[in-house]
Amino acid sequence: MFGKTLMNRYLSEWSLTRRKTFTNCARRYAKQYFFVTKRGNYKGGSTTNISYFDLMIKCTRIVLFELLSDLHKGMHWKDKVIISKMRFHVNVNYLSNSQHKIPSKKKNQLIIHGYRRIKGLMKQDVLRKIVDKSIKEWSFHHRVQSTRFGHLDVYCSPDIVYRQDSVWHLVRLNFQSEHRQPFQDLELCSMLLWSKGNQYLPSLDEKFVIHGLSWYKGKWLCNQVKPNQKLLQQTKQLLEKDVHHFNILAQEFYRSNDYDSLPLTKTKLYCNRCPYKINCPINKEVR
Ligand code: SF4
């Protein structure tokens, strides 16, 4: 009965993080999103495990959004404010995820990595124009609410939206890009689903420009996409396919309840930042 209930539960959520985790390592995805308590109950959502790297990314996002919030009110931050905010959030978020103290050398590294990302970002066109007020109409969005698309719940809101003339620009920030991103254009176009659900924005796809800003090897790289109906259609298909695969994996997992039987990453480099590497079978594999 227990297994049947779990296997019948349909997963409907899509987010870029889910997609990236899933395509990189099925075991890590299951550890993050499928959870069975000792009493045999199902609990969805992520666990409290977090790697140092993910902690840094999480804190950098929080600090950037605080900075944007102040910028919106016309307040500008000095560098030392970015550093002290990073320090505060690393401390708070680390303590809420662990009972141990973070080594101070590691803490300083995380703060510096976050600081560099934010400083680099502020030099990019979009942020420069916001600061010098050549972009006047803009907003920022926390990706905490999903947009309903058919039977899916899609976390796809842009990080920054701005308007120039009659064109809306949707910007997604990726604080750590991967080496290969074969579907990046489609992933970026998922922001259009958010805009279509947002009553304040016009619904014509031709009136949008999509921007992806990704941190890769110490630099911010920009990618710009002019969306059209075909891209939007392909994006929807990508999301449907992803969620279908999430559900196939869930069924496989709930049949065995064994994380270690699931496929592992093909790129061992990905394991460096994984919070589930202790006891992972990859460490026992002869490669
Ligand atoms: S350590 Fe590597 S193989 Fe194991 S779960 Fe994490 S990413 Fe996957």
Distance CA 167, CA 234 (A): 22
Q: In this prediction, what percent of the chain has a pLDDT beyond 90?
A: 61
**CA 261 – ligand 1 centroid, Å:** 12
Residues 237 and 187 sit within 8 Å (Cβ to Cβ)? no
Contacts of 176 (CB under 8 A, 6+ apart): 53, 57, 215
139: CA distance to ligand 1 center in Å?
A: 37
CA of 52 to the centre of ligand 1 (A): 15
What is the reported pLDDT for 50? 79
Look up the pTM and report it.
0.87
Q: Residue with the nearest Cα to atom 7 of ligand 1?
A: 271
Decide: 211 in ligand 1 pocket, CB within 6 A. Answer: no
Pocket test residue of 20, 21, 24, 27 for ligand 1, highest count of atoms within 8 A of CB: 27
Question: CATH number of the domain at 136-236, please?
Answer: 3.40.1350
Q: How many helices (H) and strands (E) does the chain have?
A: 10, 10
Distance 265 CA to ligand 1 centre (A): 6
What is the pLDDT confidence band of residue 229, given thresholds at 50, 70 and 90? confident
Sheet holding 167-174, edge to edge: 137-140, 160-164, 167-174, 208-216, 219-225
- Our answer on whether the CB atom of 27 is closer than 6 Å to any ligand 1 atom is yes
Of residues 40 and 282, more confidence is placed in 282
- Six-digit token pair at 19? 């997609």
Q: Is the CB of 239 under 6 A from ligand 1?
A: no
Res 102: pLDDT: 83
Domain borders along the chain are: 52-129, 136-236
Does position 45 have pLDDT exceeding 50, yes or no? Answer: no
Ligand 1 atom closest to the Cα of residue 271 is 2
Determine which of 8-12, 120-124, 281-285 has the lowest per-residue pLDDT on average: 8-12
Q: Ligand 1 centroid to 194 CA: how many Å? A: 32
Pocket test for ligand 1, best of 25, 249, 268, 285 (most atoms within 8 A of CB): 25
**For position 286, what pLDDT does the model report?**
53
Q: Are 186 and 235 contacting, i.e. CB atoms less than 8 angstroms apart?
A: yes
Lowest mean pLDDT among 158-172, 195-209, 226-240, 249-263: 195-209
For ligand 1, is residue 282 a contact (CB within 6 Å)?
yes
Indicate the average pLDDT of the chain.
87
Using a 6 Å cutoff on CB, does residue 245 contact ligand 1? no
